[in-house]
Chain A
Amino acid sequence: MTAHDPQDPHDLGEWDPSLLDAARALEGPSDALERRLLARLEGTIASEIAAPPRVDSVAERPSLGARVARVVRAHAAGVLVAFAAGVLTGRVTKSTDAPQSLTAPRSARDLALLRDAGASISEIAVIDVVVVSPADAAYGPAVGLEDASRGAPDVRTSAPRRPTARTPEPEDLTAETHLMDMARSALARGRAEAAMDAIDQHARAFAQGQLAEDRESLAVQALVTLGRREQATRRAEAFRRRWPSGLYRPRVEAAIALIR
């Protein structure tokens, strides 16, 4: 039995993963429903391409000023800080001069769609710069063309929060995840040597990486599969010392139980 420390944020207490077993398999639509869904989707996409979302009358369409005011309200603090910085440095720029790094990748066709929807180039720049953040673009549904043309995104509540300083770095985490996926996949296919290669590669590149616990649990499982009992036992002991109530402790114990 493991002693639990409720003050330790990584101490997750007792948990029986089998509670969720019945929900592990994916439950997809039937083939017929999948075909229907795809046809429906293609129909919607085709109609959007043929007639992009458009506000019918000038009266119904919020003015550029109103739309800019809306996003400025939503980002008031950031805009004020940026404006103040601009005033201080004497480099207040027009919206169209915004740095490209703030804009999401956008194809020529999407820009054409924006123009077709009645947006001028300066409006497109404003919408791009103010609404779309790199985090939106990379990880989730950004507020984009359709939301802008419908005119009702509440970016204060609907846009994903920007990563904080303590949010994992995306690049390293991607590389780490890739190596762990390789190890896990090799292990699942019974190729424990290949799994160890990926594990060793991770250990060299990311000794204290964010997925170190994942790596060490996989290492124990791979070593057990390879019949390297002593190494598996040593690594399991090190795991217990480092992550006494770690997420993957049950996997480690289950693997070690096989060679006891």
Chain B
Amino acid sequence: MTDSSAAATPTRASPPALVSPLPGEDFAAFFRATSAYVWSSLRRLGVGVADLEDQSHETFLAMYRHRAAFDAARPLRPWVFAFALRVAADYRKQAWHRRRPETLTHEPPATTPAADDLVAERQQREMIHEALDALDLDRRAVLVMHELDGEAIPVVAQTLEIPLNTAYSRLRSAREQFSAALKRAQARRGEP
């Protein structure tokens, strides 16, 4: 296990490029084009900061092993997300990671306004992840795919292989639960 928090940088544009080398072609290029998306998806799906490197490795390895099954006629991002979701689901089943503290030991010193902004942004992001932790993975996946990746609900339903109404229903309850959890997290930190 490695401390991945040391080198994480919130610098990539969102959403990821729709045009990427396909997994069955140049896998290294595919890796470079999608690594930020995989990394972020795993984090959004509840993988701890310190485990992101290992879980990213697992995700890419699984995609490599199944690259022949990729259908180039279909959108790439939901395919990648499905792998990240599977890896995150397996990760969450392991009890050990829950006992490990989330250590962000490399916070930049807040000595300038820009650094202050950076810290505030990071804290805000961590608060969102904390609120996402209140959701079960089914709802969390729908919320992440739709609200953060911008996938339409029918695409979400197709990717997760659930009926359309189930996807809508999960989105509705995920929004409610997330909003409530975020309020609680803000209250704990003394924010309005």
Contacts and interface: CB of A to CB of B under 8 A. Distances in A.
Most B Cβ at <10 Å: residue of A42, A167, A210: A167
B4 A33 contact: yes
B13 A25 contact: yes
Contacts of B152: 177, 180, 210-211, 214
Interface residues of B, number: 78
Contact of B31 (A26, A41, A185): A41
Given A29-B35, A38-B28, A141-B66, A135 B11 contact: no
B161 A160 contact: yes
B66 A44 contact: no
B53 A247 contact: no
Contacts of A62: none
A42 B28 contact: yes
Interface of A: 9-13, 15-17, 19-20, 22-30, 32-34, 36-38, 40-42, 44-45, 104-107, 110, 135-142, 144-146, 158, 160-164, 166-168, 170, 173-174, 176-178, 180-181, 185, 210-211, 214, 247
17 contacts: A12-B175, A19-B178, A19-B179, A20-B148, A25-B11, A29-B39, A34-B32, A104-B68, A105-B68, A105-B69, A139-B78, A139-B161, A141-B66, A144-B65, A174-B74, A210-B154, A211-B154
Given A20-B148, A25-B12, A32-B7, 7 more contacts: A30-B7, A106-B68, A135-B161, A141-B63, A167-B157, A177-B155, A210-B154
B79 to A, nearest CB: 6
B129 A137 contact: no
A170 B154 CA distance: 10
A35 to B, nearest CB: 10
A227 B152 CA distance: 27
Contacts of A181: 18, 75
A194 to B, nearest CB: 16
A34 B33 CA distance: 11
Interface in B33-87: 35-37, 39-40, 43-44, 52-53, 56-57, 60-66, 68-69, 71, 73-75, 78-79, 82-83, 85-87
B11 A28 contact: yes
B67 to A, nearest CB: 9
Contact of B12 (A19, A27, A214): A27
Contacts, number: 205
Contact of A15 (B27, B65, B79, B175): B175
A188 to B, nearest CB: 11
Contact of A28 (B12, B18, B63, B148): B12
B163 A173 contact: no
A12 B172 contact: yes
A33 B3 CA distance: 10
B36 A26 contact: yes
Contacts of B73: 174
Q: Which of B57, B87, B159 has the most CB of A within 10 A?
A: B159
B10 interface: yes
B84 to A, nearest CB: 10
Nearest to B44: A23
A51 B122 CA distance: 43
Given A12-B168, A22-B128, A174-B73, A33 B82 contact: no
B105 interface: no
Given A23-B129, A140-B82, A162 B175 contact: no
A167 B158 CA distance: 6
A241 B47 CA distance: 42
Interface string B143-168: 00011100011110111011111001
A49 to B, nearest CB: 10
A30 B36 CA distance: 9
